[in-house]
Amino acid sequence: MSQTHPITFHHMQPAERSIVEDMILNLYSNDGLEPNDYMSREKIRPTLDRALTHPDSLRVEVFKEQEQIIGYALLFTFWSNEYGGMVLTLDELYVLPHFRSRGISSQYIQALHDQKETYVLLALEVMPGNEKAKALYSRLGFKENRRTFMNKKIQ
């Protein structure tokens, strides 16, 4: 039986960028199972630049087991008049395939939940067909809201 080590979470450091960049591409290709015609390194780089220079509004956190990066999360914050405080949005969450089903995402979301003095709401978006993620988030107390998320590209 292999021994598991504690998982740690911390803000991405500049030296960890390339590994996180690869993981973002993996997320958007469903670990290489689907074509990725949406995400590119050209889109990722400004995001990571912004996270490193403006961690108060956008941050990337890496998940590590010992010294190995095994996942990441992309988070952003904003003030909500409706909820009366800061909202923390979990925009992306990725764990390497061979580290999944070990409770890492649950542990991370609990760590976010424990920041309740700072945030009034933890929000996330789930792709419609991702039933495994929906089930996980439901178990962790997330509920669907009554809104429909809409986009309009302006650039």
Asked whether residue 19 is domain-assigned, the answer is yes
The rounded distance, in Å, linking the Cα atoms of 26 and 32 is 6
Is residue 71, in this structure, part of any structural domain at all?
Answer: yes
pLDDT given for residue 2 in this prediction = 53
Residue range(s) defining the domain that contains residue 86: 7-139
CA distance 51 to 61: 10
Cα distances from 74 to residues 4, 61, 63, in angstroms, run: 25, 7, 11
Per the domain annotation, does 127 fall within a domain? yes
- Is residue 17 in some structural domain? yes
Q: What is the pTM of this model?
A: 0.90
On whether residue 154 sits in a domain, the answer given is no
Number of domains in the chain: 1
pLDDT digits (tens, 9 = 90+) for 106-128: 999 999 998 888 899 999 988 88
**Does 1 reside within a domain?**
no
Q: Please classify residue 135 by burial: count the beta carbons closer than 10 Å to its beta carbon, then call 0-12 exposed, 13-18 middle and 19+ buried.
A: exposed
Tokens linked to 143: 């509920």
What is residue 1's predicted lDDT score, i.e. its pLDDT?
46
Tokens representing 96? 């390497």
In a domain, 43, yes or no: yes
Instruction: Spell out, as residue ranges, where the chain has pLDDT lower than 50.
Output: 1
Asked whether residue 26 is assigned to any structural domain, the reply reads yes
